[in-house]
């Protein structure tokens, strides 16, 4: 254990060790409630909006929103971040699986070559960082589905409380389709009504719940006063 401690604080390993200490402090702060798991998140979004008008003209606008750049250079960097799952999961989860293998590889690599030079340790960090990036990418892949489901759930739940208009006749046992009007294209929903209620074509309903299992919203009749 003493040998590992001495190696960790030696000159060639001091940077990975400092990153590891930062990581430990961060997760301790999260555990104590001082920080949120998404405190250092970055946005890596690619949104494509399609608007169809009455003349059947189609306007496609692709908006790339990122905190790190714009234009072709920003798009390329954004693609690199997305490739390594950054923006798809909380940044600090990715950093955790990046720093841990980077620290371990640094300890093993410098010990294998008997290196005690800080400069050579910095040089070793370059391939170490690249290898650790790919390790982090593959380790974090299972987390992508978890956080994608959370984001989808938030998006679905955000429609609760909205007013929709029935496109077909809907009852408690008959699933139909309704729309929520927006500034652009309407949002289409699969809905059914509460027990003992129904909606006719063109009638309004209030979205009160969402069933993730069958992707159906529950609505109740709504009358504008």
d(CA 114, CA 98): 24
In the structure, what pLDDT confidence band is assigned to residue 176 with cuts at 50, 70 and 90?
Answer: confident
Architecture of the 163-221 domain: Beta Barrel (2.40)
Using CA atoms in the order 139, 129, 66, 83, what is the torsion angle rounded to 10 degrees?
-40
The candidate with the shortest Cα–Cα distance to 53, out of 178, 185, 164, is 185
Domain ranges of the chain: 2-41+87-156, 163-221
Single pTM value for the model: 0.55
pLDDT tens by residue, 33-59: 777 676 676 555 433 333 333 333 334
């Amino acid at each position: 254990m003493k040998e590992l401690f001495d190696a960790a604080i030696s000159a060639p390993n001091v940077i990975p060790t400092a990153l590891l200490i930062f990581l430990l402090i961060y997760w301790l702060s999260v555990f104590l409630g001082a920080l949120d798991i998404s405190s250092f998140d970055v946005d890596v979004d690619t949104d494509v909006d399609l608007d169809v008008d009455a003349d059947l003209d189609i306007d496609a606008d692709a908006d790339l929103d990122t905190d790190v750049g714009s234009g072709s250079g920003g798009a390329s960097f954004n693609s690199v971040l997305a490739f390594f799952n950054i923006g798809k999961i909380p940044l600090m989860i990715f950093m955790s699986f990046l720093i841990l293998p980077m620290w371990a590889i640094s300890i093993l690599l410098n010990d294998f070559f008997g290196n005690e030079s800080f400069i050579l340790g910095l040089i070793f960090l370059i391939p170490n960082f690249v290898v650790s990036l790919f390790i982090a990418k593959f380790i974090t892949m299972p987390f992508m589905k978890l956080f994608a489901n959370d984001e989808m759930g938030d998006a679905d739940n955000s429609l609760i409380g909205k007013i929709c208009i029935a496109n077909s006749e809907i009852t408690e046992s008959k699933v139909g389709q309704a729309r929520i009007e927006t500034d652009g294209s309407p949002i289409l929903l699969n809905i059914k009504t509460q027990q003992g209620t129904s909606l006719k074509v063109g009638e309004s309903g209030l979205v009160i719940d969402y069933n993730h299992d069958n992707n159906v919203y529950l609505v109740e009749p709504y009358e504008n006063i």
